[in-house]
Amino acid sequence: MNFTVQESSALYGLLAETSSDVIIKTDRDGMIVHASPGIRKLGVEPHGDVGPHLLDLVAEQGREAVTRALSSALEGRQGTRWTEFPAVTADARETWFEIRIRPLMEDSAVYGALAVMRSIDERRSLREQLFAATYTDPLTQLTNRAAFISMLEHMIAQGMEGCLAMFSIDFFRTINMKYGQTAGDDVLRVFADLLREMLRSDDIISRIGSERFAVLLPRTTPQQAQAICARVVTTMAELRQKVGDSRLAITASGSVASISESMDSTIERAELALFCAKAKGRNRLEMEKPRRAGV
């Protein structure tokens, strides 16, 4: 079906007035010359003289991507991709949009651009909730084993120096059997909170198993990691945790290994040191054993 110029203009106006999308027309320099009513949420009036530049609607962290999309359109290229960006809103609240920009042309000459913006706040919220559900341990709210593996792989791939620490609650199965799973869950939450409190903001804490925790300590020497993790073990033993009707001293065993060679090697060395800590009586920290030359 073909439309006359007047019909196309009327159709554009109808869509602009009724759609929840924000429709923006710019001149050759990217200045807004017309916009649909939805632009008011960004603190811009839809009609009047030449308004702000399109990029004035974009928060700093999104400017580079939107600049590329706008420049491409003003050079006459038909944009087919949507670009996500945080907008500058009238109430200073971070609101995310996606935008697609296409050139306006007459006699093969570009005289402006037509952009469609739509809010994606709800979509981003759902995406973030899905990410949290996938990579977060629901009991302790720490990252889970999948996230830990991904972050350790990244550190090794980037050649980032540091250490891996592992902790295990001592006699955890006995606690569960004697006092019940609720008491065991309380112990796990207490230890997770202790790790958050005692470790540094750069350290990455994960629950990787029933009673086991892993900590990635970026840019940390073995000596520094030993001092940090030894305090965790000592402090845990000094706490009197309420378990059932009693207050008991709950202990943890720990280990430290350098992040090097490969993910499997790093985990294996940390697990072997943790096994040694438990074999030597628990409630202690063990460092990985140095390898003999040629082994």
Residue 219: exposed, middle, or buried by beta-carbon count in 10 A (0-12, 13-18, 19+)? Answer: exposed
Radius of gyration from C-alpha coordinates of the chain? 29
Q: In the annotation, is 128 catalytic?
A: no
Selected catalytic residue, list 60, 211, 261, 286: 211
Give yes or no for a contact between 220 and 274, defined as CB atoms under 8 angstroms apart. Answer: no
* Length reported for the chain: 295
3-state secondary structure string across 143-161: ECHHHHHHHHHHHHHCCCC
Handedness of CA 78, 84, 89, 95 (dihedral sign): positive
Which tokens belong to 254?
Answer: 């720990």
Identity of the residue numbered 183: A
CA dihedral 120, 123, 129, 130 (to 10 degrees): -140
Q: Which sequence positions are flagged as catalytic? A: 211
